[in-house]
Amino acid sequence: MARTSPASIPPAPAATDRPYLVERVGEAAVVQVYADGFRDLPLREKTLIWHLAQAAIAGRDIFYDQRYAHNLEMRDVLEAVVGQEGRQPQAGPIAAVERYTKLFWINTGPYNNHTARKFVLECTPAEFRDLVHAAERRGAAFPLRDGETLDALLDRLEPFFFDPDVDPTVTSKTPPPGHDILTASANNLYVDVTSSDLIGFVEEYGLNSRLVKREGGRLVEEVYRVGEIYGAQIGAIVRHLDAAIPYATEAMAAALRALITFYTTGRRSDREAYDIAWLQDKASPVDTINGFIEVYLDARSIKGAWEALVFYVNREKTHQIQSIAANAQWFEDHMPWDARYRKAGAKGITANAIDVVIEAGDSGPITPVGINLPNDQAIRERHGSKSVSLSNVIEAYDKSTIPELRSEFSWSDEETARATKWSAFAAELTTNMHEVIGHGSGRVSEHLAVSPPEALKEQYSAIEESRADLVALYFLPEAKLAELGLFAEEDHHDIVLAEYEAYVRNALVQLRRVRQGSQIEEDHMRNRQLIAQWLMANTAAIEVRQRDGKTYYVMVDAGAFRDGVGRLLSEVMRIKAEGDYDAARALVERYGVHFDPRLRDEVVARVERLNLPSYTAFVMPRLTASRDEAGAIIDVEISYPLDLATQMLEYSAATRHTRARP
Ligand SMILES: [Zn+2]
């Protein structure tokens, strides 16, 4: 599947006179992303992007609702309180509400994006009630149901804001013994449905529906499409996409029309037609991803979470990823796995470095750094795939990262120096390889009757992300990369060391994100833990060392590392190709899920001492259209809000009219 979040630790910020790091909110850093190339685009492309950006904002509330059924009401209440407080620094209960609201926006609801765990409002219910009533006296509106008083609304929502034991986990792929992955997950993709209800049930709209158990135990698919669930938002998306078509290239216009058809019917065949049309648009300077795409939110890995991205090609940075795509067949032919799983004609692989102008839903404010689509394995094998590397997001990560995050966990000064010089470069290169030749590669067994996600269920995403990472790690030492001109041959060894060292360090440093419990939920975090722990158990590549009461994961043998990666990759490809659920589950649970909480406590203490963030959220650029008297767009200005709250309140205001009151 289809995305990479940043693993390796980027380098020190270069001297720059514009701000990247906007603020810190608890464990999160808030960073402005810049789209420098936008100003130089022709008006036609700016206008196209403007309409597509409106389509992105129009669907944002869908993902809020998918993630948690109470999210939109909770957001309305929070925004009514903080929206009127201005941007002055506050103390007391209002400070707790502002902090919670920012984390709520960053994570799209009360669940941490990386741990899937609930966080709660850190003031008393009585203090919150006072603030809400004060906001009401100032004229704020609240999402009251028919005949409902404000106090009754607050009573109803109180457990969602304050009780950590009510709906504790948004997605639970490894629930406590005796619990079911669907009922243990608080997301809104299933209502009163357990995994056993699904035995023998055939989903017609797997990707784009919510499954609800009605009275009498009957299962119903509520389809995400025009006129049905999320019909108001999808209708608005369709109108903006329609307005964009006149400004698109012919190939892109065909894809947008296919997307509108899919949003209208919701049918699988129309989604396939859209995927194919989107793949056939290989050369447009502007592109968008808009729909029910990634399946990480669903414990079953079937239901798509809504997201939208709008971006243009970054011509200067696109050489590297295009070289990898152009040589995809060479990599396919040299995969370490069984020849049965090699794709014969690695065709239709498109790749670009891009700058995002907006990301909403499942891709913002916390964004991936690389994307490869479509996720439908059958379409990928027949029609290829498209990859993007999010250049301006990667840049913003680099420029906002604190160098101590790297040095604190490096065993030696040489390791720190290599990381300073190469880890950002190596991370971007391996991200590109992960997307293009990782997710893009391989073919499944002819005996596999269902798709790999259906066969591997809740283990699928961690397995597929492992596969893509392993492909990148496996090929990094290949002389072919220097031959392609991706770097100078004399730097090759240091680049390999920098990436392998960073990968191993990350398995330790990422534990800072999971502050409760002793279990990893997020699939990319699982896959990285899996690979590092497997290498520790099965090769001599990594040593665990202690110094001054601190633990270090030290990569000591790059040859053994690479050899182990090749062996593990062969097995992971076999698991995917054969749909071997038992082997997938054993591998993920043994190496990817559990960790020692004392080790995590040590890592957390080390990052706290240095005040290092655990994850990063991004503020998007703001677009402003100017129009002539007839209403036609005559220019689109780009600016940078440098403020999360301002942007989130603007986005929420823009969709208020599509919100149906219950
Ligand atoms: Zn991926």
Q: What is the pLDDT of residues 50-106, one digit of tens each?
A: 999 999 999 999 999 999 999 999 999 999 999 866 556 678 999 999 999 999 999
Q: Return the H-helix or E-strand segment holding 623.
A: strand 622-627
564 CA to middle of ligand 1, Å? 20
Between CA 53 and CA 38 the distance in angstroms is 13
CA 16–ligand 1 middle distance (angstroms): 31
- Residue 589 alpha carbon to ligand 1 centre in Å: 19
Tell me how far the alpha carbon of residue 325 lies from the centroid of ligand 1, in angstroms.
Answer: 16
CA of 1 to the centre of ligand 1 (A): 5
Distance between Cα 148 and ligand 1 center (Å): 45
The percentage of the chain sitting over the pLDDT mark of 70, rounded to a whole number, equals 96
- Taking only the tens place, the pLDDT of each residue in 270-312 is 999 999 999 999 999 999 999 999 999 999 999 999 999 999 9
Residue by residue, DSSP assigns 150-200 as HHHHHHHHHHHHH-TTSS-BS--SSPPTT--TTTT--STTEES--GGGGTT
- Which one-letter DSSP state was computed for residue 521? -
Nearest to 648 by CA among 161, 160, 102, 50: 102
CA of 290 to the centre of ligand 1 (A): 18
Distance (angstroms) between ligand 1 centre and the Cα of 85 equals 40
> For position 85, what pLDDT does the model report?
61
Q: How many CB atoms lie within 10 A of CB 253?
A: 18
CA of 368 to the centre of ligand 1 (A): 9
CA of 370 to the centre of ligand 1 (A): 7
> pLDDT band at residue 343, thresholds of 50, 70 and 90?
confident
Q: What is the pLDDT of residue 344?
A: 82
Distance 535 CA to ligand 1 centre (A): 20
Q: Residue 12's pLDDT band (boundaries 50, 70, 90)?
A: very low
The predicted-structure confidence for 461-520, as pLDDT tens digits, reads as follows 999 999 999 999 999 999 999 999 999 999 999 999 999 999 999 999 999 999 989 999
Say which residue the tokens 């796995």 belong to.
Answer: 337
Cα(87) to centroid(ligand 1), Å: 37
What is the CA(482)–ligand 1 centre distance, in A? 24
Average pLDDT over residues 539-566: 98
Tell the burial category of 482 from Cβ atoms under 10 Å away from its Cβ (0-12, 13-18, 19+): middle
Q: How far apart are CA 593 and CA 587, in angstroms?
A: 10
- Ligand 1 center from residue 53 Cα (angstroms): 24
Residue 7: its pLDDT value, please? 59
Distance 486 CA to ligand 1 centre (A): 21
Confidence of residue 3 (pLDDT cuts 50, 70, 90): low
Q: Are 463 and 588 in contact (CB under 8 A)?
A: yes
The CA 529 to ligand 1 mean position distance, Å, reads 15
Question: How many angstroms does the Cα of residue 471 sit away from the middle of ligand 1?
Answer: 11
Mean pLDDT of the 249-268 span: 98
pTM: 0.92
CA distance 205 to 210: 9
Distance in Å, CA 143 to ligand 1 centroid: 38
**Ligand 1 centroid to residue 578 C-alpha, Å:** 20
Cα(524) to centroid of ligand 1, in Å? 8
pLDDT digits (tens, 9 = 90+) for 403-451: 888 899 999 999 999 998 998 899 899 999 999 999 989 999 999 999 9
Which pLDDT belongs to residue 661? 53
User: Who surrounds ion ligand 1 at CB < 5 A?
Assistant: 4, 465, 468
- Contact indicator for 208, 222 with CB cutoff of 8 Å: no
**Phi/psi of residue 181, each to 5°?**
-60, -30
C-alpha of residue 632 to centroid of ligand 1, in Å: 40
- Answer yes or no: are the C-beta atoms of 541 and 557 closer than 8 Å: yes
Q: Coil, helix or strand for 555?
A: strand
Tell how far the Cα of 363 is from the centroid of ligand 1, in angstroms: 13
CA nearest to 503, candidates 9, 13, 115, 114 = 9
- CA 465 – ligand 1 centroid, Å: 5
The Å distance, Cα 386 to ligand 1 centre, comes to 13
Phi, psi of 291 (to 5 degrees): 160, -165
CA of 393 to the centre of ligand 1 (A): 16
Q: Compute, in angstroms, the gap from residue 372 CA to the centroid of ligand 1.
A: 7
Cα 4 to ligand 1 centre (Å): 4
Q: How far does the centroid of ligand 1 lie from the alpha carbon of residue 311, in Å?
A: 19
Distance 649 CA to ligand 1 centre (A): 31
In contact, 108 and 64? CB cutoff 8 Å: yes
Ligand 1 center from residue 67 Cα (angstroms): 21
Give the contacts of 244 (CB within 8 A, at least 6 positions apart).
48, 51, 52, 55, 256
Q: How far is the CA of 502 from the centre of ligand 1 (A)?
A: 18
Query: How many angstroms separate the alpha carbon of residue 371 from the centre of ligand 1?
Result: 7
Instruction: Flag whether pLDDT at 549 surpasses 50.
Output: yes
Q: What pLDDT digit, counting tens, does each position of 586-635 carry?
A: 999 999 999 999 999 999 999 999 989 999 999 999 999 999 999 999 99
Residue 426, C-beta contacts closer than 8 angstroms, at least 6 positions apart: 8, 476, 495, 498, 499, 502
Q: What is the whole-number distance in angstroms between the Cα of residue 99 and the centre of ligand 1?
A: 31
**How far does the centroid of ligand 1 lie from the alpha carbon of residue 132, in Å?**
42
Spatial distance between the Cα atoms of 367 and 207, rounded to a whole number of angstroms: 21
CB-CB contact of 23 with 617 (8 Å): no
The percent of residues above 90 in pLDDT, for the chain, comes to 87
Q: Which residue has the tokens 């399946």?
A: 295
| pLDDT at res. 89 | 67
Whether the CB-CB separation of 55 and 290 falls below 8 Å is answered with yes
Q: Which residues contact 311 (CB under 8 A, 6 or more apart)?
A: 286, 287, 288, 354, 355, 356, 357, 388, 390
**Span from the CA of 635 to the centroid of ligand 1 (angstroms):** 37
The yes-or-no verdict on residue 1 having pLDDT over 50 is no
- Ligand 1 centroid to residue 43 C-alpha, Å: 34
Query: What's the gap in Å between 439 CA and the centre of ligand 1?
Result: 7
- pLDDT of 8: 44
CA gap 129, 156 in Å, rounded: 12
How far, in Å, from the CA of 563 to the mean position of ligand 1?
Answer: 22
443 within 8 A of 335, measured Cβ to Cβ = no
Examine the pLDDT at 5 and tell me if it is beyond 70.
no
Ligand 1 centroid to Cα of residue 429, in Å, is 14
CA 461 to ligand 1 centroid distance, Å: 9
Q: What is the pLDDT of residue 424?
A: 85
Residue 300 in contact with residue 181, Cβ under 8 Å? yes
CA 89 to ligand 1 center in whole angstroms: 39
Q: How far is the CA of 500 from the centre of ligand 1 (A)?
A: 18
* Å from CA of 389 to ligand 1 middle: 11
- The predicted pLDDT at position 9 comes to 42
Q: How far is CA 122 from the centre of its chain?
A: 27
Q: What is the mean pLDDT of the chain?
A: 94
pLDDT band at 138; cut points 50, 70, 90: very high
Cβ atoms of 35 and 356 within 8 Å: the answer is: yes
Q: Cα Rg for the chain, rounded, in angstroms? A: 24
Can you tell me the distance from the alpha carbon of 25 to that of 14, in angstroms, rounded to the nearest whole number? 23
Q: Torsion over CA of 465, 433, 447 and 458, rounded to 10 degrees?
A: 10
CA 253 – ligand 1 centroid, Å: 28
Model confidence at 14, pLDDT cuts 50, 70, 90, reads very low
Contacts of 486 (CB under 8 A, 6+ apart): 320, 323, 324, 429
> Angle of helix 492-509 relative to helix 597-609, nearest 10 degrees?
110
Ligand 1 centroid from CA 377, angstroms? 14
Distance 254 CA to ligand 1 centre (A): 27
Report whether pLDDT(557) > 80. Answer: yes
